[in-house]
């Protein structure tokens, strides 16, 4: 009877397991399988293709592909700047929200969440239009103030994308950090006030260390997200293809290989390599940050 109850309980996870198997495990397995093959042609190439088993040749090609490795390095550098900026601003907003009364906080929270409620593609399209030197309002505004900024210039592309991502992601990060802050016992603050600590000292010495696990979590999610950005560069590429090349980010390289060059096998190998890189990066980040926690 107990065993049947256990099976019935496990049966409730069946929908998730079915989805997980068919939407994750099977495609990942198929991608790994596909990455071991290559389409080959012969002669003039006008007679169609045959599929050959080539083992790890695609992986060898991937690890020496300067386009792919360059794109990985590019997003890594971007993440090194973007993630701390995003976390700092989100933390600041969370701390500010925490230091006002609950009623005021409840009024501001939805407003800060509005950017996050907008779907990513829509946000990117809106910002691309704002940035447009010919039809957007920001460039004339800058001219009126005496600046001539071009958001699509090669040097400005990353700040433009970073601004868009920050605007979009602040609400979500801030909510997580704010919830973690709310969990800090209020008696600590009273004790600190009795000891004569200012609000700033309170924030630096008590609040921030208390939310470190949440910071690690949001940091790791941000890194994984940044290394996989695709929507925003693709939309920017539409308006400024001379600065955002076809292989600007790793996922764009994979997309290009699969759908423009038609080389599904090589794209599968690159996907596996990217997943491995992400896994290693997440693991290292987690080890590095959790070692410092007592």
Partner 1 sequence: MICANSSRISRTYRAAVALAVGVGLTISGCGSSKSSGGASGTAANPVVLDYWGWNNGQPAQVAAFNASHKDVQIKYVKTQGGDPTLQQLANAYKAGNEPCLVQGTAENLTTLVSQGELGDVTQWVAPHKAEFNPGAFSGAGVQGKIYAVPTSSAPAFTIYRTDIFQQYGLKPPATWDDFIADGEVLKQHGIDITNYAGEDPSTLVTLAMQAGAHWYTIDGDSWKVDFQDPASLKAAAVIQKIVEENLDSQISFADYAAVQRNYDNGGTVTRQISTWQMAGMVKNFTKSNGKWALSPWPAFAGDSSKTPAGTNQSAGLTLITSQCKAKAQAAEAALWLSTDLGAVKTMADPATGAGLMPALADPSQYVAESISAPLLGPDYQAAQKVVTDSIGTVATSWTFGPDWTAMYDELANGWAKVLTKQEKLTDLLAHMQQWTVADLKSRGINVEG
Among 9, 15, 43, 185, binds partner 1 (CB under 8 A): 43
**Smallest distance from partner 1 to CB 236, Å:** 10
**Which is nearer to partner 1, 132 or 166 (by Cβ)?**
132
The count of chain residues that interact with partner 1, using the rule CB under 8 A, is 30
- Specify whether the CB–CB gap between 178 and 108 falls below 8 A: no
Binding mask 76-115 for partner 1 (x = CB under 8 A): ----------------------------------------
The answer to whether 262 contacts partner 1 (rule: CB under 8 A) is: yes
Handedness of CA 13, 18, 21, 24 (dihedral sign): negative
Among 28, 32, 39, 282, binds partner 1 (CB under 8 A): 39
User: Which stretch in 186-194, 226-234, 241-249, 281-289 sits in contact with partner 1 by CB under 8 A?
Assistant: 241-249
User: Which stretch in 12-20, 176-184, 202-210, 255-263 sits in contact with partner 1 by CB under 8 A?
Assistant: 255-263
* Pure H helices in the chain: 2-11, 14-20, 26-34, 57-63, 66-99, 102-117, 120-131, 138-145, 157-182, 186-194, 199-202, 208-210, 212-227, 231-239, 250-255, 264-290
State both tokens at 191.
């004790």
What is the C-alpha to C-alpha distance for residues 98 and 14, in angstroms, rounded to an integer? 41
Q: Is 48 left (phi over 0), alpha (psi -120 to 50) or beta?
A: left
The answer to whether 194 contacts partner 1 (rule: CB under 8 A) is: no
CA distances from residue 48 to 261, 265, 268 in whole angstroms, order as listed:
15, 16, 21
The answer to whether 130 contacts partner 1 (rule: CB under 8 A) is: no
DSSP H or E stretch at residue 38: strand 37-40
Among 71, 90, 139, 243, binds partner 1 (CB under 8 A): 243
Among 30, 241, 280, 288, binds partner 1 (CB under 8 A): 241
**Which is nearer to partner 1, 197 or 246 (by Cβ)?**
246
The answer to whether 240 contacts partner 1 (rule: CB under 8 A) is: yes
């Amino acid at each position: 009877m107990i065993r049947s109850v256990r099976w019935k309980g496990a049966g409730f996870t069946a929908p998730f397991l079915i989805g997980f198997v068919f939407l994750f495990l099977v495609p990942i397995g198929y991608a790994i399988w596909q990455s071991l093959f290559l389409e080959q042609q012969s002669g003039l190439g006008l007679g169609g293709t045959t599929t050959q088993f080539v083992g790890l040749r695609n992986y060898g090609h991937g690890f020496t592909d300067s386009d792919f490795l360059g794109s990985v390095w590019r997003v890594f550098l971007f993440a090194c700047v973007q993630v701390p900026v995003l976390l700092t601003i989100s933390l600041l907003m969370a701390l500010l929200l925490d230091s006002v009364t609950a009623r005021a906080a409840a009024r501001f929270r939805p407003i800060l969440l509005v950017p996050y409620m907008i779907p990513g593609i829509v946000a990117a399209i809106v910002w691309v239009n704002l940035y447009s030197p010919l039809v957007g309002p920001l460039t004339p505004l800058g001219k009126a103030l005496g600046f001539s900024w071009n958001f699509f210039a090669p040097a400005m592309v990353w700040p433009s994308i970073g601004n868009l991502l920050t605007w979009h992601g602040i609400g979500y990060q801030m909510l997580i950090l704010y919830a973690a802050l709310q969990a800090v016992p209020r008696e600590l603050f009273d004790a600190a006030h009795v000891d004569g600590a200012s609000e700033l000292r309170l924030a630096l010495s008590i609040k921030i260390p208390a939310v470190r696990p949440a910071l690690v979590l949001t940091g790791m999610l941000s890194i994984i997200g940044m290394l996989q950005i695709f929507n925003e560069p693709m939309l920017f590429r539409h308006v400024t293809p001379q600065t955002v090349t076809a292989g600007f980010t790793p996922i764009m390289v994979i997309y290009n290989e699969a759908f423009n060059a038609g080389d599904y096998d090589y794209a599968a190998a690159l996907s596996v390599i990217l997943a491995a890189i992400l896994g290693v990066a997440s693991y290292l980040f987690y080890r590095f940050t959790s070692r410092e926690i007592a």
